[in-house]
């Protein structure tokens, strides 16, 4: 097994351990998830800053360039998610998080002083590289640092930090927009706040240890054990070290899937299922609300300053819904929970479309749209968002995970990009009502697909899930 060989003497080596491993692990979780906070803030801040950027004496954005400014970050994130994971495998999780903190800071600072639209789009793309990289590296790092019985809770804390970052962005947007709204460059004040958590992440990385799983994969066994001793009781660290060794040995024997195997029916079915789930989760229009919530409320009838304040409700309900969704994941079956989310989202989308059509110009319309976007986010963030990522992690067997997850997440980011790019043009071209009816059509299609194609995976091992797919392809 080459560098996987390790003597019992090495495993039994004692290292000074932290006085309280639990507190140190909690500190590691808080520091590393600052990347998720940055992810959320940088995707949410555009919601309130775009109306001010679009003004003639600022960046003078058209609907097309408005879409480019918002979606260029997402396009960068698609590339960042691909290269971030590979870089973390070669350079280490900790070092890549440090690189991401630096990229977060300089690209966010560059956006603050961007003199024109082209520079802004380029810098938002660079910021997206950091966002995409963090979306892959930080959950992986947390999964490898967490004890097995706490892995799900610690990893999903990153999702909670993302929506918290978006919520904070909406609050700062509302405060700055209402206090300094008469100065057109207020959007620069909104963007500069993103540099603060980037600095905090960079400083925090200095106390982060490297992942023991990554150290072991490079044959650095004593360093891996030292890290484990700092975040586990010594007896548990010794046992986990042996499990890591056994898992690495098994992975070396595991044959990876090639693209040619996509011709096998059961493999093709799993990959297609992942791609459709990832795509539908974005095509139902979630990021039209997360990126353009202020413009939607303006279009419905609110003034800019009022829309900024009202949009805070969207951020608050997103945070609450994620917390509720996290508590339900291990208590409710996947299919009925996902179907409930899709039904709720569909009802909200159709309600917005219908209200915008029949109540156009009415004083009550903006309040109906706000209440329906809140309802939409409750169902999406409480059910669809956490479940899609969980199901994607469950349906791919080990040897399919690299190719399958890669394709599913790639399509997810690309559909996110398309929604972000085309939403301002759809709003200007066909209006609020028709745009949300289009999103509802995708939600209904997703409902039908889940009913017909998605098997229940709760309570099954990865091997049992794989076997079920094989049997269904034969029948």
Q: Confirm if 436 and 306 have CB atoms less than 8 A apart.
A: no
More confident residue, 329 or 453: 453
Domain-located, residue 224: no
More confident residue, 277 or 159: 277
Report the candidate in 34, 31, 35 with the shortest Cα–Cα distance to residue 134. Answer: 35
Instruction: State whether 189 and 333 are in the same domain.
Output: no
Q: Encode pLDDT of 294-316 as tens digits.
A: 999 999 999 999 999 999 999 99
Instruction: State whether 342 and 472 are in the same domain.
Output: yes
**Among residues 174, 208, 242, which one ends one of the domains?**
208
Domain-located, residue 142: yes
**What was the pLDDT predicted at 256?**
61
Domain of 448, in residue numbers: 262-475
Instruction: State whether 55 and 204 are in the same domain.
Output: yes
**What was the pLDDT predicted at 87?**
87
Instruction: State whether 191 and 293 are in the same domain.
Output: no
Domain-located, residue 243: no
Question: Which stretch of 53-57, 144-148, 185-189, 239-243 has the lowest confidence by average pLDDT?
Answer: 144-148
Q: Which two tokens stand for residue 41?
A: 């803030």
Instruction: State whether 130 and 273 are in the same domain.
Output: no
Domain-located, residue 357: yes
Highest mean pLDDT among 236-245, 251-260, 419-428: 419-428
What gap in Å lies between CA 170 and CA 178, rounded to an integer?
12
Instruction: State whether 279 and 159 are in the same domain.
Output: no
Q: Encode pLDDT of 109-130 as tens digits.
A: 999 999 999 999 999 999 999 9
CATH number of the domain at 194, please.
Answer: 1.20.1250.20
Provide mean pLDDT across the span 375-399: 85
**Among residues 208, 234, 250, which one ends one of the domains?**
208
Instruction: State whether 166 and 273 are in the same domain.
Output: no
Residue with tokens 């097995």: 148
Report how many domains make up the chain.
Answer: 2
Instruction: State whether 190 and 298 are in the same domain.
Output: no
Domain-located, residue 282: yes
- Residue 395 banded pLDDT, cuts 50, 70, 90: confident
- Residue 19 banded pLDDT, cuts 50, 70, 90: low
Q: Encode pLDDT of 416-442 as tens digits.
A: 999 999 999 999 999 999 999 999 999
Q: Which two tokens stand for residue 69?
A: 């400014």
HSE-CB at 305 with a 13 A cutoff on CA atoms is 11
Judge if pTM exceeds 0.85: no
Instruction: State whether 363 and 426 are in the same domain.
Output: yes
- pLDDT over threshold 50, residue 13: no
CA Rg value for the chain: 23
Domain-located, residue 255: no
**What was the pLDDT predicted at 189?**
95
**Geometric angle at alpha carbon 320, from 313 and 423, rounded to 5°:** 50
Report the candidate in 457, 454, 447, 449 with the shortest Cα–Cα distance to residue 333. Answer: 457
Signed CA dihedral, 124, 130, 133, 135: sign only? negative
- Residue 399 banded pLDDT, cuts 50, 70, 90: low
* Mean pLDDT across the chain: 86
Domain-located, residue 225: no
Instruction: State whether 266 and 340 are in the same domain.
Output: yes
**What was the pLDDT predicted at 233?**
81
Domain-located, residue 295: yes
**Among residues 208, 228, 254, which one ends one of the domains?**
208
**What values do phi and psi take at 56, rounded to 5?**
-60, -35
Q: Which two tokens stand for residue 78?
A: 């698609």
Provide mean pLDDT across the span 46-56: 91
**What was the pLDDT predicted at 366?**
95
Instruction: State whether 325 and 454 are in the same domain.
Output: yes
Instruction: State whether 327 and 441 are in the same domain.
Output: yes
Q: Encode pLDDT of 267-291 as tens digits.
A: 788 889 989 999 999 999 999 999 9
- Residue 254 banded pLDDT, cuts 50, 70, 90: low
**What was the pLDDT predicted at 326?**
84
């Amino acid at each position: 097994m080459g560098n996987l060989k390790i003597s019992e003497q090495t495993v039994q080596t004692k290292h000074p351990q932290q006085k309280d491993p639990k507190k140190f692990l909690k500190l590691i979780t808080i520091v590393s998830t600052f990347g998720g906070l940055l992810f959320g803030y940088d995707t949410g801040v555009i919601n309130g800053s775009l109306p001010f950027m679009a003004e003639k004496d600022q960046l003078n954005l058209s609907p097309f360039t408005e879409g480019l400014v918002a979606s260029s970050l997402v396009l960068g994130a698609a590339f960042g998610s691909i290269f971030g994971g590979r870089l973390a495998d070669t350079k280490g999780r900790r070092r890549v998080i440090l690189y991401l903190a630096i990229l977060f800071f300089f690209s966010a600072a560059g956006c603050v002083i961007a003199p024109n639209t082209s520079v802004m789009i380029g810098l938002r793309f660079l910021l997206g590289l950091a966002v995409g990289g963090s979306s892959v590296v930080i959950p992986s790092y947390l999964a490898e640092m967490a004890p097995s019985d706490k892995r799900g809770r610690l990893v999903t804390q990153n999702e909670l930090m993302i929506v918290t970052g978006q919520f904070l962005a909406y609050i700062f947007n509302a405060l700055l927009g209402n206090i300094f709204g008469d100065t057109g460059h207020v959007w620069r004040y909104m963007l500069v706040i993103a540099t603060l958590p980037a600095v905090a992440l960079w400083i925090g990385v200095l106390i982060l240890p490297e992942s023991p799983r990554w150290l072991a994969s490079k044959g650095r066994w004593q360093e891996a054990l030292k890290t484990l001793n700092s975040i586990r009781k010594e007896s548990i660290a010794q046992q986990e070290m042996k499990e890591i060794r056994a898992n690495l040995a098994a992975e070396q024997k595991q044959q990876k899937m090639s693209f040619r195997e996509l011709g096998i029916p059961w493999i093709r079915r799993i990959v297609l299922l992942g791609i459709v789930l990832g795509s539908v989760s974005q095509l139902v229009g979630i990021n039209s609300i997360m990126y353009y919530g202020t413009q939607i409320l303006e279009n419905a009838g609110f003034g800019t300053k009022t829309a900024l304040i009202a949009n805070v409700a969207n951020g608050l309900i997103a945070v609450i819904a994620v917390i509720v969704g996290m508590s339900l994941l291990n208590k409710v079956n996947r299919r009925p929970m996902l179907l409930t989310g899709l039904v709720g989202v569909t009802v909200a989308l159709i309600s917005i479309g219908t209200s915008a059509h029949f109540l156009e110009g009415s004083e009550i319309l903006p309040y109906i749209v706000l209440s329906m976007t809140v309802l939409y986010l409750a169902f999406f963030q409480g059910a669809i968002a956490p479940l899609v990522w969980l199901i994607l992690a469950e349906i791919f067997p080990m040897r399919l995970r690299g190719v399958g997850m890669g394709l599913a997440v790639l399509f997810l980011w690309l559909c996110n990009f398309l929604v972000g790019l085309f939403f301002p043009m759809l709003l200007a071209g066909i209006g609020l009502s028709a745009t949300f009816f289009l999103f509802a059509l995708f939600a209904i299609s997703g409902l039908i697909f889940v009913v017909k194609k998605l098997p229940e995976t709760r309570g099954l091992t990865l091997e049992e899930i794989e076997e079920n797919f094989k049997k269904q392809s034969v029948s």
